[in-house]
Every structure is written in structure tokens, then in C-alpha cells.
Chain A
Amino acid sequence: MDLLNAIVALSNFVLVPAIAYGSQLALGALGVTLIYGILRFSNFAHGDTMAFGAMVTILVTWWFQSMGISLGPLPTALLALPFGILGCVALLLLTDRMVYRFYRAQKAKPVILVIVSMGIMFIMNGLVRFIIGPNDQRFADGERFIVSAREFKAMTGLREGLAIKTSQGITVVTAVIVVALLFWFLNRTRTGKSMRAYSDNEDLALLSGINPERVVMYTWLIVAALATVAGVLYGLDKSFKPFTYFQLLLPIFAAAIVGGLGNPLGAIAGGFVIAFSEVTITYAWKKVAGYVLPETLAPDGLVQLLSTDYKLAVSFVILLIVLLFRPTGLFKGKSV
């Protein structure tokens, strides 16, 4: 019984949140890794792209809510998601046309493109704050829990409860669908194959008649969709605040690099590695230890390795370890 309680407590406080957070990071890291693989630079504006897509979704959600449209137990935001993606696509294609294309034609060095993306980051950040303001916004509605802690206790008779929030369930389901679609697209369709060819060897791809502008355009389309989905899921699960999205840049980059920049599979693995380490290292293990260990050995303190304020430090340390011992990441990524 104690062991069961320990497992439930572990799932409730570590596994479920980490899986949801890992899916969000993986979606973000996929965007970063695609841009890196095809456009060949680290996009510093990715966090703010996520914020922009989420913002458009939120505005449409509010509009739907004011008209009384809802999805019943599911959050209305899911209905607004396609509009958010469209808005994000429009913005990204616009920045590509007005800014990035020029540097691509010039064959500018990657670091120049990074600085350019810094400028885009300022603009997007300013836009989001200008339109929706810098404060917390809540837009989640519908049923809050799939399984609430109380129901679970009544159902199983255990002392520990297991709560699964709707947002967490939706996150995982959406992430699985999006990733499956993405891999189907990259591996099965002609455009997807040409994208991979372009990423592997630009010259050879050009030689075989692949249109680079088309590849770039599809990349932005996919990145916009991934970023918006990631942004909305994160916002539903936690809350929407422009500055938090900017701060997500670090764990997302850590995930992409840990997995191997330019490698989509790596980005997903990296997302979960980062999320699980962040949650396990900052979780207070007292409860679980109390169930598993015999009475005499039960710890007095919280058995928390690091306070939650140091979440960022965890992803950073993992990043450093990977960079030091395996610079191309867990899965073999590119190294330009």
C-alpha cells in the first residue's frame, strides 16, 4: 500500500507535470531545430514568436467567449488555435520577406542572422506588450480536471490523490498529433523530403532542382504552427505572460542542443530530458521518501535538491554537461 501511495504521489507531482512540460518544450525545440537545420541560424525570437501566436489565439478566444461559442468541457482556445496559427504565419512570412530574405541573398554569416533575430525579438516583444500588455492573462475555460485528486482518492481508497488537469491531457494529446503530422510530412511528402534534402546538403539540393524559397516558406509555415501550438499549450497549462515566454528561450534552446541541433527527433528527446530533470531536481522528495523508506529512516527536511527558483540553472547545467562531453548532442545534430 505504501509503495502504491509513493507511486501515486510521484506521478502526481513529478511524472504528470514533467510529461506536460516536456511536450511543451519539445514543440518549442522542434521549431528552433527546424530553423537551425534549414535556415542555419539560432532564432532568438522564438520565445516571442510563441508569445505572439498565443496572443492572437487568446484574442480570438475572448471574442468567441463573448459570442458564447465554446467547446463544452474543452477549452475554447482549441477552437481559436487555427486563427492563432494563421496570425503567426502572417507575421513570420512578413518578417521573412522584409528582413531575413535580404540576408539570405547576401549569404550573411549565421551570427549576423542571430543579431537580426535579436532585432525581430525586440519588435515582436514590443508588439505583444503593445497589443495585450505585459500582465498575466487567463484564457483557460471548460472543465478544469480530467481526474481530480478527490475523485481519485474515493475511487482507489489510497491516501494520495492523483490529479490530471485538462490542460495537461490536451497538451500531451495535441503534442502527439502534431509530432506525428510533422514526421509524416518530413518523411512521406515530397515537400518534406525536399526540406530534409535542403537541410542535409544545400548545394546538392539546389542542384537537383529544389526551389530554396519554397523550402524556406514551408519552414516558416511549420515553425509558426509549432510555435503557436507550444505557446497556447503552455499558456493553458500555466498562464500567459509575455516575459515568461521570453524566458522559455533558455530551456527550449537547451532542449534543442541537448538533443542535437537540426535533429527533430533529438529536439523531442531533449525536451523531455530537460523537463524531467527540472522537475525531479526541484521537487521536494519528503513525501515519496516517507512512503518508501522505513519509519526510522524517514527524512526530516524536504529532501529538495534545489529550490524551484533555480529551475533555469538545471537546464543550463545539463546543457553544459552535454556541450562538454558530446558537443553534437545526444542524437547526432549538425555542427556548422
Chain B
Amino acid sequence: MTGSVKNVALFALVAALIAITGFTQSWNSALLILNMGLISAIMALGVNLQWGFAGLFNVGIMGFVALGGLATVLVSMPPVGEAWAAGGLGVLAGLAMGAATIVAAALLMNRMAPGRARSLAVLVLLVAGFFIYRAIFDPGVAAVERVNPAGTGFLGGLGLPVLLAWPVGGLLAAGAAWIIGKTALGLRSDYLAIATLGIAEIIIAILKNEDWLARGVKNVVGLPRPVPYEVDLQNDPGFVERAAAMGFDPVTASTLYVKAGYAVLFAIVLLILLWLAQKALSSPWGRMMRAIRDNEVAAEAMGKDVTRRHLQVFILGSAICGIAGAMMTTLDGQLTPGTYQPLRFTFLVWVMVIVGGSGNNFGAVLGGFLIWFLWVQVEPMGLFVIQTLTAGLADGSALKEHLLDSAAHMRLLTMGVILLLVLRFSPRGLIPEK
């Protein structure tokens, strides 16, 4: 079996798995898996750019995904005029003050000669700046959060079309990646890992606690959608007629129609990004990245600026994760900072890339679909296995109850086992790098 036949067969297998879900469970859940699979594939593509192309170990994917989600809120929600009037200026002035302090400290750092005087000056500047920042910022925040806390209590967004949020999400993530990259790249690989792990936790902490920004754990619900609402479709006589002609009842037809609409949008984004990534891989730039990955010293000797290239690819990969995050929040229709978990959003994406095949874009996409499918389906499968195993136990026995309750946690175990098995027996993944 040649390589390309095998690859097509693997993709066909995933398609078949999703189709089986459609036939045996429902087409709604099949489409849901497909949509999240598309988003997962995009995330895997971003991580593959960093790890597969350049060998950068980023475990802060969750943070970039969450920033994409934040972008959706900031772009698409209508602005809250009252909150802006109450404290918008204070908040903005405070943020500007904070940024100015950091810039001034950085300038001071570069201008003054190294020594005790410089450390002291920078420290004094930072501490003073921090207190001034808090003095301006805090009243503004309090004023914003007082405006109708149950309904809004935040500044709102720009009220622009939600599709615009996707590229903006990428930009936000890219900005964060630039800051992290500037500090942590060029250090050892484990340090980058710890730094990204930390920044992701901090981004989530900010999203959870800064209520003026996106309502924190009170969540922003009812985000605008790029596709029509089910209710509108059901009230549209033309749609109901067409659905009836195809043998669907209007409710099912409308939900399927909406999900299919998302799937088409996501597929377009995935195809564009995949095309770009393939172009990048085969371009001189891609060859340079792989040369750097395989031997940094040699690449540096050939005159390549390794740290700069690493920064570049780190930003690009993170931006792709940000786009995926914005798409996911759009699909959910709400931003819920409490649901961002590193196991689900960082480490699962890593499993996708490793299992699919790091260094190969198609591998990453395949891994995204396959692992997402397993992530969703292992839970019912695990429950089924446990039910079969415990069938002999008496009903109501404590052990049986406990095992049935715990079945949901089977999927973490399964993902770990899959990752270890692939790493051991097929370390280059299902579709290896050429």
C-alpha cells in the first residue's frame, strides 16, 4: 500500500466513524463531532507549526484559545454605552498608564548603565507606576461593574460582525505570543514549556476575574451568530416546506441546517490554513525551519537568526490557535472562562499532533478529527464496558455505583494510553513526516 493510499484510507476511516455516529446515534451529534473536529484540526495545525516545523514546546495552547474566545466577545457584542460613560475612560486611562510604566521601565533598562543604580531606578519606577495605575484603574472598574451587574456589568464589545472576530482572535493570540516569545524563547526548551504553561493559567485567571472585560465567571451568553437562528428557520414557511419535501420535521431540519452552516464556514477556514501551511512547509522558509529544528548550531553557522525564526513561527502557530479559539466560542455562542481546562485544551491538542504525525500537516488534521472523535465517544463506550463488566454485581452495590459514576473519567486514561502507545510503537505518528 503506497503512502497516499494509506492516508486517504485513514481519512476515510475517520469520515466513516463520524457517519456511523450519524446512523447509530443522531446526525446532530455527528455534526457536532464534525464541527469540533474541524476546530480541533485547526488547533493541531497551529501546534504542528510550532512543534513539527520548529521543535518548539508550547503547552500554553489553552491561553491562546481563550484569547480567541475573548476576541469574539470584544468584537461582536454590542457596546454598553452606560458603562462606557461611567468608567470607560478610567479603565482605558488606567491601562494606558500601566502600559506606559512598563515601556518606561524597559527604556530605562536599555538607557542606563548596568549596576545598582539602574536596578533601583527601575524598581522605583515600577512600584510607583503600579500604585498610580491602581489608583486610576480601580475606580473605573468599580464604576463599570456597578452598571447593571446582573445583565451586563462590562464594557461590551464593538458590535461588529462576528466573523471579524476570527482574525482578531488570531491577532490577540499573536500579541500574547510575541510577549512570551520575547522573554522565553532562546532559553532552554523546558523553560519555554513552563513559561507557556504559566501564561495560559494567567490568561484564564484574568478572564475569570476581570469582570469589566468579559463578565468573568458570570459568562457572556447570547453572542451574535454568523448563521441563522433555528427559531427563525422554523418560522420561515419556505424552509419548513423544503424540509418536509426532504422528509425532515422542521425542528430537526433547522438544527441540522445551522450545524451544517457552521461546518461549511469552519471547513473553509481549515482548508485555507491547511493550504497556507502546506505552502509554507515546501517553501524555502519551511526548509529553513526544519533545518533549524534538526540542527540549531549548523543553521546558525549558516547565518540563520535562530531566535528570530523561532519567534516568528511561535507567533504564527499561536495565532492559528487563537483563530480556532474564536471559532469555538462562536460555535458555543457563549464565553465561559470556567470551562477552560489545561487537560482538555492544551494536552489533548498535543495528543492530536503526536498521534496524527508531527511535522506533517495532514497528520495533524487527521489527529485532530480522530482524537476528538475518541474524546467524545470514549465516554459512552467506557460506560458500556463498565456496565457489561459490572452486570454480574448486585444492583445498588456500592462498588457498582462507584464504577458507573467513574466511567466518565475513563477518557483521560484512554488518552494517556493512546499517547504512550503511539510514542512507543509509532513515534512518527499515523501520517509521518516525509
Chain B residues with CB below 8 A from A124, complex form: 416
A13 at the binding interface (Cβ < 8 Å): no
Cα A89 to Cα B193 with chains together (Å): 27
Pick the interface stretch among A23-31, A114-122, A217-225, A228-236: A114-122
Chain B residues with CB below 8 A from A126, complex form: 409-416
> 7 A-B Cβ contacts within 8 A?
A44-B59, A110-B189, A119-B419, A122-B343, A126-B413, A126-B416, A250-B194
B340 at the binding interface (Cβ < 8 Å): no
Cα A316 to Cα B205 with chains together (Å): 12
Chain A residues with CB below 8 A from B427, complex form: 112
Cα A241 to Cα B414 with chains together (Å): 21
Determine the residue in chain B with the shortest Cβ distance to A42: B190
Q: How far is the CB of A122 from chain B (nearest CB, A)?
A: 3
Q: How far is the CB of B325 from chain A (nearest CB, A)?
A: 20
> Could you give, for residues 185-197 of chain B, a 1 whenever the CB lies within 8 Å of some chain A CB and a 0 otherwise?
0011111011101
Cα A268 to Cα B415 with chains together (Å): 34
B199 at the binding interface (Cβ < 8 Å): yes
Contact A319 B201 (CB under 8 A): no
Q: How far is the CB of B41 from chain A (nearest CB, A)?
A: 20
Given the interface pairs A126-B409, A126-B410, the reply to whether A247 lies near B209 with Cβ below 8 Å is no
Contact A119 B420 (CB under 8 A): yes
Cα A118 to Cα B347 with chains together (Å): 7
Given the interface pairs A115-B350, A250-B201, the reply to whether A120 lies near B187 with Cβ below 8 Å is no
Chain B residues with CB below 8 A from A115, complex form: 350, 354, 419, 423
User: Which of B188, B189, B415 touches A122 (beta carbons < 8 Å)?
Assistant: B415
Contact B350 A324 (CB under 8 A): no
**Interface size bracket, B side:** 35 or more
Chain B residues with CB below 8 A from A288, complex form: none
Cα A324 to Cα B109 with chains together (Å): 13
A181 at the binding interface (Cβ < 8 Å): no
Cα A307 to Cα B211 with chains together (Å): 13
B78 at the binding interface (Cβ < 8 Å): no
Given the interface pairs A114-B57, A126-B410, the reply to whether A250 lies near B198 with Cβ below 8 Å is yes
Chain A residues with CB below 8 A from B354, complex form: 115
Determine the residue in chain B with the shortest Cβ distance to A128: B409
Can you name 12 extra interface pairs (CB under 8 A) apart from A44-B59, A253-B194? A42-B194, A99-B420, A118-B419, A119-B417, A119-B420, A122-B415, A126-B409, A126-B411, A312-B202, A320-B183, A320-B184, A327-B187
We find that the number of chain A residues with CB closer than 8 angstroms to chain B is 49
Determine the residue in chain A with the shortest Cβ distance to B208: A309
B405 at the binding interface (Cβ < 8 Å): yes
Q: Residue among A111, A127, A133 with the most chain B CB within 10 A?
A: A111
A61 at the binding interface (Cβ < 8 Å): no
Cα A129 to Cα B406 with chains together (Å): 7
> Could you give, for residues 114-151 of chain A, a 1 whenever the CB lies within 8 Å of some chain B CB and a 0 otherwise?
11101111111111011101100000000000000000
Chain A residues with CB below 8 A from B188, complex form: 335-336
A313 at the binding interface (Cβ < 8 Å): yes
Q: In A253-282, which residues have CB < 8 Å from any B CB?
A: 253-254, 257, 261
Chain B residues with CB below 8 A from A133, complex form: 405-406
Q: In A297-334, which residues have CB < 8 Å from any B CB?
A: 305, 307, 309-310, 312-313, 315-316, 319-320, 323-324, 327
Q: How far is the CB of B71 from chain A (nearest CB, A)?
A: 21
Contact B409 A247 (CB under 8 A): no
Q: How far is the CB of A136 from chain B (nearest CB, A)?
A: 16
Determine the residue in chain B with the shortest Cβ distance to A301: B138
Chain A residues with CB below 8 A from B405, complex form: 133
A64 at the binding interface (Cβ < 8 Å): no
User: Which of B187, B201, B419 touches A247 (beta carbons < 8 Å)?
Assistant: B201
Cα A323 to Cα B420 with chains together (Å): 31
A283 at the binding interface (Cβ < 8 Å): no
Chain A residues with CB below 8 A from B183, complex form: 320, 323-324
B424 at the binding interface (Cβ < 8 Å): yes
Determine the residue in chain A with the shortest Cβ distance to B354: A115
> Could you give, for residues 14-58 of chain B, a 1 whenever the CB lies within 8 Å of some chain A CB and a 0 otherwise?
000000000000000000000000000000000000000001010
Contact A122 B410 (CB under 8 A): no
A56 at the binding interface (Cβ < 8 Å): no
B342 at the binding interface (Cβ < 8 Å): yes
Cα A121 to Cα B354 with chains together (Å): 15
Interface residues of A, Cβ cutoff 8 Å to B:
41-42, 44, 99, 102, 110-112, 114-116, 118-127, 129-131, 133-134, 246-247, 249-250, 253-254, 257, 261, 305, 307, 309-310, 312-313, 315-316, 319-320, 323-324, 327, 335-336
Contact A122 B413 (CB under 8 A): yes
Cα A249 to Cα B405 with chains together (Å): 27
Determine the residue in chain A with the shortest Cβ distance to B358: A115
Chain B residues with CB below 8 A from A41, complex form: 190
Cα A124 to Cα B201 with chains together (Å): 21
Q: How far is the CB of B215 from chain A (nearest CB, A)?
A: 15
Chain B residues with CB below 8 A from A118, complex form: 347, 350, 419
Cα A321 to Cα B188 with chains together (Å): 15
Cα A247 to Cα B205 with chains together (Å): 12
Contact A121 B420 (CB under 8 A): no
Contact A120 B416 (CB under 8 A): yes
Chain A residues with CB below 8 A from B201, complex form: 247, 250, 312, 316
User: Which of A42, A261, A323 touches B193 (beta carbons < 8 Å)?
Assistant: A42
Contact A120 B420 (CB under 8 A): yes
User: Which of A130, A307, A309 touches B410 (beta carbons < 8 Å)?
Assistant: A130
Determine the residue in chain B with the shortest Cβ distance to A124: B416
User: Which of B55, B191, B205, B413 touches A309 (beta carbons < 8 Å)?
Assistant: B205
Cα A119 to Cα B422 with chains together (Å): 10
Contact A122 B347 (CB under 8 A): yes
Determine the residue in chain A with the shortest Cβ distance to B415: A122
Contact B412 A307 (CB under 8 A): no
Chain A residues with CB below 8 A from B406, complex form: 129-131, 133
Cα A124 to Cα B412 with chains together (Å): 9
User: Which of B189, B198, B208, B414 touches A319 (beta carbons < 8 Å)?
Assistant: B198
Contact B190 A313 (CB under 8 A): no
Contact B198 A123 (CB under 8 A): no
Q: How far is the CB of A50 from chain B (nearest CB, A)?
A: 16
Cα A129 to Cα B195 with chains together (Å): 27
Given the interface pairs A122-B416, A254-B198, A316-B202, the reply to whether A246 lies near B342 with Cβ below 8 Å is yes
Chain B residues with CB below 8 A from A319, complex form: 194-195, 198
Cα A307 to Cα B134 with chains together (Å): 12
Contact A323 B423 (CB under 8 A): no
Determine the residue in chain A with the shortest Cβ distance to B209: A309
Q: How far is the CB of A42 from chain B (nearest CB, A)?
A: 4
User: Which of A119, A131, A315 touches B423 (beta carbons < 8 Å)?
Assistant: A119
Q: How far is the CB of B393 from chain A (nearest CB, A)?
A: 17
